[in-house]
Structure 1
């Protein structure tokens, strides 16, 4: 279970299934021919794997930010405006301008880019690009934001900025973050899930996972005996 306005961090050794599981949450694994999914995942009591589920609408409700910043090769403005435009969320240019400004403001980027919205998004620094991608994700007003190691390509200062942003975004969104950094999980999340060899071993309040884990595998990973 992932609660509303909660950050759930998923940790575990490389190759343990964190990102694969994350991609199940907005059906990104559907694009992999050999992928088979069993069981059910429910968003507000709707099974997202039900054949009647509109996958495009699902991905509007469950946004995603990737490990490597991937802005479109378009202007900063167009990066944000693209989603609301294709989903028909605006009636005119004034509304679109408002969404762009609000999204960039929430992503902590507006003051830095407001005078150069026509510049290409790929010309920003790595940390700014990642915040642009977060702004792009929230522009279509999702309920959930998935983040797959969003800071692994960033320097410590940009990482701190994104972590502060995650804490602010939690007031409006449910966030699931995969991270290779246990310190980051401890800083940003309220609950933490530990994965090992494709299995979910334990999920609990972050303080408990790091200070008093209930499973010996979790304890071995937290204390650095393997990982």
Structure 2
């Protein structure tokens, strides 16, 4: 073995190439942050095209890391979903805030529903997260709850103005917008904006002057939560 002189002048074993190979330096924090960011970016894109059931192995390949590295940063699919899709949920909440500031309540409602439909049309992951529930204490569910409260106010404001029919709830409207976007999914490649025409037809049907009695009852929040639980 090659010997070197230690700081105190005594002889000691040298650090060899083999030793370094067997005991590589620990990854720097910057490398770990870079890997986390790459995984989140890849997940955002893959969830956007394939939905929440997208392959985690494929996401790891897209990010250029091993599946072990992915799980090291995000131990569960839910953790990765929260990291990748939270911004979209926050964006929808900001849209509701803007709708509440609109001078005309109906215009605010229409602008918000159009913004939500546009988010859903361009991002399958966001579409899925609108109709699936994660654990109540997860960042996305907290943001969804806050956004839903603002949405409820947007709907109530339009109803109180007399412009929105009185017998529909925010649950009805949310599911209707989701159904419009999903119904046009199959023709998105040839007509990416087809949802706009269908949404406009839906919005006309929500006007108070167009109202006819509706059959049945709106789903209550607990029924919706039970139907939307992810996993």
Bucket of the pairwise TM-score, normalised by the shorter protein: under 0.3
Query: Structure 2 length as normaliser, TM-score?
Result: 0.23
Richer in helix (by share): 2
Larger Rg: 2
Structure with the bigger RCO (C-alpha within 8 Å, sep 6+) is 1
Richer in strand (by share): 1
Query: Structure 1 length as normaliser, TM-score?
Result: 0.23
